[in-house]
């Protein structure tokens, strides 16, 4: 099992020295160069939190999903620019309530998760962004500081990854498109983070690994979140 704490030390050797400089003086340029994309689904019973629904039912699981998303949105509401990248494509009306001033909503592309992620990154780079971060809605512990740290790391690293406790990742950030990170990845398995990291290093990409966080997928994850321990300290 890969230890994210050790990986942080290892990957820092593969990238440039971490930039501790403060915010850019030209705030307009900074806003235009950075972008956060939040992947989410319309809150429909039976379509969200399916693993959790097996234990607590589709209605309660949908309510849990709503709470996760709303918690996350509150914690990220100070950030700009933010794109809510939603599915299904016909759910635009259901997503509108989640928009904050200056945010936009865009339907996800067709295809598997890798194809949808690649499309979202490519669209953002084509529009002029140079430091793009994508997160999902499974981890309500993500804070605005986590996103700012990722944006900052992308000044000096090609890839930023936030490992999840289940072997996936809660964040991926890029400063240019890297197609090899999205094709033939074993999505929805415990090998997603490790495989993405391996491909990054094999491609001589500099990588910054962020703190490990807990996704809310199972009943035990949900109970931990309700108890306020969704991010237990690592031993």
DSSP readout, the chain?
---HHHHHHHHHTTSPPPP-----S-HHHHHHHEEEEEEEE---TTTS-HHHHHHH-HHHHHHHHHHHHHHHHHHHTT-SSEEEEEESGGGHHHHGGG--TT-EEEEPPSSSHHHHHHHHHHHHHHTT-SEEEEE-SS-TT--HHHHHHHHHHTTT-SEEEEEBTTSSEEEEEESS--GGGTSS--TTSTTHHHHHHHHHHHTT--EEE---B----SHHHHHHHHTT-SSPPP-
- pLDDT for position 27: 35
Exposure on the CB side of residue 3, measured as CA atoms within 13 A: 6
Of residues 151, 136, 133, 163, the one with CA closest to residue 7 = 163
Those residues of the chain that have pLDDT short of 70 are 1-32, 229-235
Question: pTM score, two decimals?
Answer: 0.84
C-alpha 19/C-alpha 188 separation (Å) is: 33
- The C-alpha atoms of residue 160 and residue 90 are separated, in whole angstroms, by 31
**Comparing C-alpha atoms, which of 202, 190, 131, 193 is closest to residue 162?**
193
Question: Is the domain 32-111+125-226 a CATH 3.90.550.10 member?
Answer: yes
Which pLDDT score, from 0 to 100, does residue 228 have? Answer: 82
């Amino acid at each position: 099992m890969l230890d994210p704490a050790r990986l942080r030390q290892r990957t820092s050797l593969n990238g440039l020295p971490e930039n501790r400089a403060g915010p850019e003086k030209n705030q307009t340029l900074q806003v235009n160069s950075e972008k956060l994309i939040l992947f989410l689904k319309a809150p429909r019973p039976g379509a969200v939190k399916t693993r959790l629904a097996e234990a607590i039912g589709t209605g309660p699981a949908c309510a849990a999903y709503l709470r996760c998303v709303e918690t996350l949105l509150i914690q990220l509401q100070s950030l700009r620019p933010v794109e809510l990248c939603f599915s299904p494509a016909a759910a635009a009306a259901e997503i509108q309530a989640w928009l904050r001033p200056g945010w936009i909503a865009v339907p996800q592309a067709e295809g598997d998760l890798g194809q949808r992620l690649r499309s979202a990154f490519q669209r953002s780079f084509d529009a002029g962004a140079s430091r793009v971060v994508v997160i999902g809605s499974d981890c309500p512990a993500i804070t605005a500081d986590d996103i700012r740290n990722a944006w900052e790391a992308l000044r000096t690293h090609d890839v930023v990854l936030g490992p999840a406790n289940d072997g996936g990742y809660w964040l991926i950030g890029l400063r240019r498109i890297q197609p090899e990170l999205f094709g033939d990845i074993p999505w929805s398995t415990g090998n997603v983070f490790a495989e993405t990291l391996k491909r990054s290093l094999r491609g001589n990409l500099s990588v910054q690994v962020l703190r490990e966080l807990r996704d809310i997928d199972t009943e035990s994850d949900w109970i931990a979140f309700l108890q306020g321990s969704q991010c237990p300290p690592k031993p």
